[in-house]
Amino acid sequence: MDLKSLLQDHLQKKEKQKKDKITTGEAKNDDPDEMFEKYYCEWKAAGKNSASSNSAQTFSLIPKFYHKLPSEDNQLLQKLREESRAVFLQRRSRELLDNDELKNLWMLLDKHQSVTDVGGEEQLINYEDFLKVAEQAGPKCKQYFQPSTFCKLLQNDSYGRISIMNFFNYVMRKVWLHQTRIGLSLYDVTGQGYLRESDLENYILELIPTLPQLDGLEKSFHSFYVCTAVRKFFFFLDPLHTGQIKIQDILACSFLDDLLELRDEELPKDQQQNNWFSAPSALRVYGVYLNLDKDHNGMLSKQELSRYGMGTLTPVFIDRVFQECLTYDGEMDYKTYLDFVLALENQKDPQSLHYFFKILDIDSQGYLNVFTLNYFFRSIQEQMRQHNQEPVNFEDVKDEIFDMVKPADPCKITLQDLINCGQGDVVTSILIDLNGFWTYENREVLVADSSEDQAQL
């Protein structure tokens, strides 16, 4: 009953009582405000109780969406969780197409291909036959035969057909992604969708025997190879140093493709040299590290690191590297060295620019100003004097840097400015490496020489 009806009913009763009292001579003056307050409070209390009851019933219908992870000391729940995840992943694995089913799918596609034009070499299929194949391929293939998939693969065919090869490659890629996701998830100890450094190390260590290109690696080098491989994942996919990478991010990047490319027994040498995960590349990086380590203590000092490359990195830059990066008693280990190498070999990437910006930003202000640029360029000028060269005027270099970057604030260069301008690698090279500065200063001569060489070829 609502408040209005309650009050009306009460007033009618009071009116009747009043008449009865008048009749009996017992009439009194009742205060309407007190009466209203009394009955309003009673109605409000009844409403709260009713709402509370309804809310309790409603909340009971909402399913539980958060389950707290079992504590590490609760071994029973931990084991139960591991087993349930393993069963789930096995079930998902059985849902994927195996080799025989993929062969059967290809035969069905080949059987239902449309008649190609005269001289046409590409196998095509129309939508009607596409649906026929979907019916015959079985329930496992149903997810791939969606109208949206057919539309995405449409080309400029006048009959509205798609390439059989393109569709089959699409299915193969999807199967590979699901297989890889399941394989990575097996190493996800927490079950939260990310891998810690130790998880990824275990994954790559167990992957090595399946990669023919790594057959020549001695077992004593496996731990260094794993460290080299894992470091690339974490340098590019964990820039905030959280110590974990989402499995989704691992699948989205091209690093796994590069790693699994080593399954090809006939991989060309030039591709091996350009692949960070190849045996020649890993041995090269580790070999340079050993050559720099003159005292053979397994660590690099400032003086040892200064000989990296052509030995033209400025002392100021090397000092800042040791200030900002993780060291042990003032010396750098192999893992920190790998970050250093990855940054220098991939200077155009945002993650590398983030690495250099942290070093260049000496006051942790979040931007580089004229003072900061001058602080680093003075070391370049000093190196030029040591090589009997006339130092370049800083004002000229400063103006060129600001013209290249075109920062939002004309007096400050932020990390985002370096990334947006597309010339962040040139700016960092000018400030930290004499050879990089020399290359920039003589860029026109180098371009002309390159053009002449190409003309002669």
Altogether, the residues listed in the chain come to a count of 457
Question: ∠ at Cα 288 (284, 289), nearest 5°?
Answer: 120
Do 344 and 403 contact (CB within 8 A), yes or no?
no
65, 69, 88, 85: which is closest to 77 by C-alpha? 69
pLDDT by residue (tens digit) across 364-401?
999 999 999 999 999 999 999 998 888 899 999 999 99
Res. 271: pLDDT tops 70: yes
What is the mean pLDDT of the segment spanning 268-292? 93
pLDDT by residue (tens digit) across 135-192?
999 898 999 999 999 999 988 888 888 999 999 999 999 999 999 999 999 999 888 8
What is the mean pLDDT of the segment spanning 305-331? 94
Residue listed under structure tokens 């060489």: 453
**Bigger pLDDT: 439 or 65?**
439
- Report pTM: 0.76
Task: Please give the mean pLDDT across all residues of the chain.
Answer: 86
What is the mean pLDDT of the segment spanning 336-360? 95
Res. 425: pLDDT tops 80: yes
**Bigger pLDDT: 130 or 29?**
130
436, 435, 437, 432: which is closest to 314 by C-alpha? 432
Residue listed under structure tokens 């927490």: 190
Q: Which pLDDT belongs to residue 83? A: 86
What residues form DSSP beta bridges with 386?
A: none
Return the structure tokens found at 326: 């993780």
**Bigger pLDDT: 33 or 111?**
111
Confidence of residue 6 (pLDDT cuts 50, 70, 90): low
What is the mean pLDDT of the segment spanning 329-343? 95
Q: Which 3 state secondary structure label does DSSP give 368?
A: strand
Q: Which pLDDT belongs to residue 71? A: 81
What is the mean pLDDT of the segment spanning 98-124? 81
Return the structure tokens found at 25: 């001579």
Q: What percent of the chain has pLDDT over 90?
A: 59
What is the mean pLDDT of the segment spanning 411-440? 93
DSSP strands (E only) in 269-350: none
413, 305, 399: which is closest to 360 by C-alpha? 413
Q: Which pLDDT belongs to residue 264? A: 87
Confidence of residue 27 (pLDDT cuts 50, 70, 90): very low
Confidence of residue 323 (pLDDT cuts 50, 70, 90): very high
What is the mean pLDDT of the segment spanning 264-276? 88
Q: Which pLDDT belongs to residue 13? A: 75
**Bigger pLDDT: 442 or 381?**
381
pLDDT by residue (tens digit) across 58-109?
666 667 777 777 887 888 888 888 888 889 888 989 989 889 999 999 999 9
Do 155 and 163 contact (CB within 8 A), yes or no?
yes
